[in-house]
Amino acid sequence: MNREPRRQRTYFILLLVTAFALLTIDYHSDGASSPLHPLEKAVAGIVGPGEKAVASLVKPLTDQVHFGKQPDKVAELQKQLDAATSLAETAQNDHRLVAQLDKLMGWDPYYVDKMLPARVVATGDTLSNTQSVTIAAGTRRGVHINMTVVTGLGLIGNVVQVSAETSTVELLTDPGISVGVRNSRTNTAGIVQGGKNGTLDLTQYNQTSDIRKGDYLVTRGSDNNTPYVPDVPVGKVIAVDNTPGSATHTAVVQPFASFDGLDLVAIIFPPPGKFPHQFFIAPVTPGPTTTAPVITTTSATPPASINPLAPASGAPTSGTSGTPTTGTTSRSAVTTTPPPPTHTSAVATTTTPAVKTTTPKPATHTSTKPPVTKTTPPKSVTPTHTTTPPPKPTTTPPPPGAPTS
Amino acid sequence: MSWKTALLAALSLFTALLLQRSALPLLDLPGGAPLPMVVLVVAFALVKGPFPGSVIGFCAGLVADLAPPSTHGVGREAFVYCLVGWLCGKVAGEIDRSALAPVAVVAVATAATIVLNAVVGALFGGGHISLRSLVTLLPAVVLYDALLAPFIVPAIAVLVRRLDPEPRR
């Protein structure tokens, strides 16, 4: 009678030691190379679909009712404005066409074509890591590790684990994540890392270039676009620490994306090879009237096959449809749902100057739309149109093998 | 512990894990989301004793560690739940049979779980919780779990006694 409890206590202590051993193993190994990774993947294969099922039961309810605090509309709109401004500034610095962005007031259609929308089905609970979320898209839909994940407002993180039905996204705010960024004003490279209270810490090694409050940051882009594709809005500098004599500049950055109540996110599928983000203004001929430049791109046409926003394959879960929430503003391509029938194609409403005739373009092809669009009334209300991409009438086929300048 | 009890524990804790990760955070309750897994581990420990409580806690915690979207610190929740299961099993013999006693145990266990988890997480990674968010989160989650306890603890006790009639040592 005395022996049994003692043996049990031994076993109990063994369990605790096992847990500690696991912790040490996991602490010293990293991500996909961890010996525990296959086990995690196996559990994800079982728990992931469960989380997806539970979320699909609960989402219809939570879409209608807010138990907690109401989302702050003004703050949300301010963030949208900031993110759009960031994109616009990037565009100017890159000599990219601003009208291109007017079109979307947000995401470049180039990106939108390559987005796979997915809903968040599980977040970390109080005990687990709250800096990552499960989303309802996995290998079955082509998701793999190290893909860029965004919301309508900007970057939120990258995919760190996948199973058949779901994948895990590690959020930007995790202290373990660092992202290469570019200051859109000075074009200086830096690195942001998860900081305190949902902000990010920016480190910039170039001493000659200053950081100012209000600077916008976008991703610099990684090799092979993994894990980050270039030019995705990241955040805005809210406080600067310019210690004289310090080897680095540091600053506090407020991310554009809001990480509270993450719901609909999008995974960016970069095309194979180089991400053709270098839109630039073609050398404008000194014609008197045509000052408006034309977007050109150095690479081939994006593959037409990837268009995950098409209604046929777009909705990640059944709960997606019918959230009329943010239809009032821009960025609907990411924050809202497949197009309502009223969406007059985003292309038609743009004010992109179609001056293809004036540009010398033996070397490049225009990525603007065919001249048909000139017939639409210009100066339509830009911020209110929906931004779902039309089924790709936009790109003219590239001259094969054309030498780029 | 009979296999029926083990099955009951596995099914109920798996359901609790799904709710805890998926449904309850989506509700966006003020303060934080409840932790039904803690309530269940406490319930099993109270009726079965320290050793079964610690085994159930360890297994539940390990699955929670591995389940998405957890990314860091496998073993952390296993450690915490195992310890809580053992301690609650030890307490089981001491408390009187009033209706409020299990509620109090659940409340204390929830608070202990959150704090312990934060400490282990700070040492080994995972479960980043700042002190400030801990202060707002702790009372809310303790309250929610205490509200769940009067439903879950007696139900588990009745079910386990029915499935596993042998008296506990």
Q: Map chain A to HEC letters.
A: CCHHHHHHHHHHHHHHHHHHHHHHHHHHCCHHHCCCHHHHHHHHHHHHHHHHHHHHHHHHHHHHCCCCCCCCHHHHHHHHHHHHHHHHHHHHHCCCCHHHHHCCCCCCHHHHCCEEEEEEEEECCCCCCCCEEEECCCHHHCCCCCCEEECCCCEEEEEEEECCCCEEEEECCCCCCEEEEEECCCCCEEEEEECHHHCEEEEECCCCCCCCCCCEEEECCCHHHCCCCCCCEEEEEEEEECCCCCCCEEEEEEECCCCCCCCEEEEECCCCCCCCCCCEECCCCCCCCCCCCCEEECCCCCCCCCCCCCHHHHCCCHHHCCCCCCCCCCCHHHHCCCCCCCCCCCCCCCCCCCCCCCCCCCCCEECCCCHHHHHCCCCCCHHHCCCCCCCCCCCCCCCCCCCCC
Give per-residue pLDDT as tens, B45-57. 999 999 999 999 9
Choose from A51, A125, A133, A193 for mutation: most chain B CBs within 10 A: A125
- The reply to whether residue B72 touches residue A15, judged by beta carbons under 8 angstroms, is no
Interfacial A residues in 156-175 facing B (CB < 8 Å)? 160-161, 163, 166-170, 174-175
On chain B, the residues whose CB falls within 8 A of the CB of A16 are 79, 82-83
On chain A, the residues whose CB falls within 8 A of the CB of B60 are none
Q: How confident is the model at residue A129 (pLDDT cuts 50, 70, 90)?
A: low
pLDDT confidence of residue A388: 40
The predicted model gives B69-91 an average pLDDT of 90
- The reply to whether residue A23 touches residue B74, judged by beta carbons under 8 angstroms, is yes
The predicted model gives B82-87 an average pLDDT of 96
Query: pTM for the whole thing?
Result: 0.69
The predicted model gives A260-268 an average pLDDT of 81
B109 pLDDT above the threshold of 50:
yes
Give per-residue pLDDT as tens, A59-101. 877 776 665 555 566 666 777 777 667 666 665 554 443 443 3
Among positive and negative, which fits the CA dihedral A297, A299, A303, A304? positive
The predicted model gives B7-20 an average pLDDT of 94
Structure tokens at A112: 């939108």
Q: How confident is the model at residue B104 (pLDDT cuts 50, 70, 90)?
A: very high
Between A42 and A287, the higher pLDDT residue: A42
Between B144 and A265, the higher pLDDT residue: B144
pLDDT confidence of residue B73: 81
pLDDT confidence of residue A87: 64
Between A55 and B28, the higher pLDDT residue: A55
Give per-residue pLDDT as tens, A152-191. 778 889 998 898 889 999 999 887 788 999 888 788 889 9
On chain A, the residues whose CB falls within 8 A of the CB of B22 are 50-51, 54-55, 58, 121-122, 134
Q: What number is the ipTM of this complex?
A: 0.89
Q: How far is A269 from chain B (nearest CA, A)?
A: 21
Between A78 and A326, the higher pLDDT residue: A78
In chain B, the N- to C-terminal Cα span, in Å, equals: 11
Q: How far is A152 from chain B (nearest CA, A)?
A: 19
- The reply to whether residue A130 touches residue B128, judged by beta carbons under 8 angstroms, is yes
B23 pLDDT above the threshold of 80:
yes
Q: How far is A385 from chain B (nearest CA, A)?
A: 30
Between B160 and A332, the higher pLDDT residue: B160
Q: How confident is the model at residue B145 (pLDDT cuts 50, 70, 90)?
A: very high
- For chain B, what percent of residues have pLDDT higher than 90? 59
Low-confidence winner among A34-38, A55-59, B111-115 (lowest mean pLDDT): A34-38
Interfacial A residues in 43-82 facing B (CB < 8 Å)? 43-44, 47-48, 50-51, 53-55, 57-59, 62, 66-69
Please, is A295 exposed, middle or buried when counting C-beta atoms within 10 Å of its C-beta (0-12, 13-18, 19+)? buried
Q: Does B124 touch chain A (CB under 8 A)?
A: yes
| Residues recorded for chain B | 169
- The reply to whether residue A126 touches residue B79, judged by beta carbons under 8 angstroms, is no
pLDDT confidence of residue A90: 61
Between A203 and B83, the higher pLDDT residue: B83
A330 pLDDT above the threshold of 80:
no
Q: What is the CA radius of gyration of chain B?
A: 15
Q: How confident is the model at residue A272 (pLDDT cuts 50, 70, 90)?
A: low
On chain A, the residues whose CB falls within 8 A of the CB of B145 are none
Q: How confident is the model at residue B89 (pLDDT cuts 50, 70, 90)?
A: very high
The mean pLDDT of chain A is: 65
pLDDT confidence of residue A183: 84
List strands edge to edge, sheet with A365-366: A280-281, A295-297, A365-366
A321 pLDDT above the threshold of 70:
no
- The reply to whether residue A197 touches residue B132, judged by beta carbons under 8 angstroms, is yes
Q: Does B27 touch chain A (CB under 8 A)?
A: yes
pLDDT confidence of residue A152: 75
Q: How confident is the model at residue A56 (pLDDT cuts 50, 70, 90)?
A: confident
- The reply to whether residue A12 touches residue B24, judged by beta carbons under 8 angstroms, is no
Q: Does B70 touch chain A (CB under 8 A)?
A: yes
Q: How confident is the model at residue B62 (pLDDT cuts 50, 70, 90)?
A: very high
pLDDT confidence of residue B140: 93
- For chain A, what percent of residues have pLDDT higher than 90? 10
A286 pLDDT above the threshold of 60:
no
pLDDT confidence of residue A223: 78
Q: How far is A230 from chain B (nearest CA, A)?
A: 25
On chain B, the residues whose CB falls within 8 A of the CB of A262 are none
Q: How far apart are CA B81 and CA B86, in angstroms?
A: 8
